[in-house]
Amino acid sequence: MLDSFERLILKVLQRDGRASTQDLSDAVGLSPSPCWRRVKRLEEESYILRYAAILDGKKLGLNAFAYVQISLIDHSEETIKVFNDFVAQSDQVLECASITGDFDFVLKVVARDPEALEQFIMKRILRLGVVRTTTTNFILRQMKTAGSLPVEA
């Protein structure tokens, strides 16, 4: 179980992963040493998985975001391994989730433009040899990208 200080630490770090120990301790009401020890424990116990910068895709020339639903040809270990390896190695796949319903997975994918996205689907995803079908929904406008989880204080 997390105590209220640890929950506050998590909330602050989700807003600013670069917060110094001093800034973090000021925000949660602990002195720096116990605050630092709690952060280390949260990292060691995998409450904090990693730290990352959130980038502006449009400034990087990435203008096509889409959700791609995937149905595999079967659910054999080899098919799933091929698909999982592809997802793990592909920088264009931002998210992947196993889902219920008519499809097996949904991917959030990014590309330079719609044509590049089409090429990614046709030449990379469909050529894996393990995908039965795909359905793509373009993201017209991203209204919320939180990237943070609700942490009850």
pLDDT at residue 153 is higher than 80? no
| Predicted confidence (pLDDT) per residue in 24-66, tens digit | 999 999 999 999 999 999 999 999 999 988 888 889 999 999 9
Query: What integer pLDDT is reported at residue 152 of this predicted model?
Result: 80
| Predicted confidence (pLDDT) per residue in 105-138, tens digit | 999 999 999 999 999 999 999 999 999 999 999 9
Query: What integer pLDDT is reported at residue 150 of this predicted model?
Result: 84
pLDDT at residue 146 is higher than 90? no
Query: What integer pLDDT is reported at residue 100 of this predicted model?
Result: 97
pLDDT at residue 19 is higher than 80? yes
Q: Which domains does the chain have, with CATH numbers?
A: 4-44 (1.10.10.10), 58-138 (3.30.70.920)
Count of residues for the chain?
Answer: 153
Phi-psi domain of 97 (left: phi exceeds 0; alpha: psi -120 through 50; beta: other): beta
Question: Facing residues of 133 across strands?
Answer: 71
pLDDT at residue 96 is higher than 80? yes
In which band, very low, low, confident or very high, does the pLDDT at 23 lie, cut at 50, 70 and 90? very high
DSSP string, 53-111: PPP-TGGGT--EEEEEEEEES---HHHHHHHHHHHHH-TTEEEEEE-SSS-SEEEEEEE
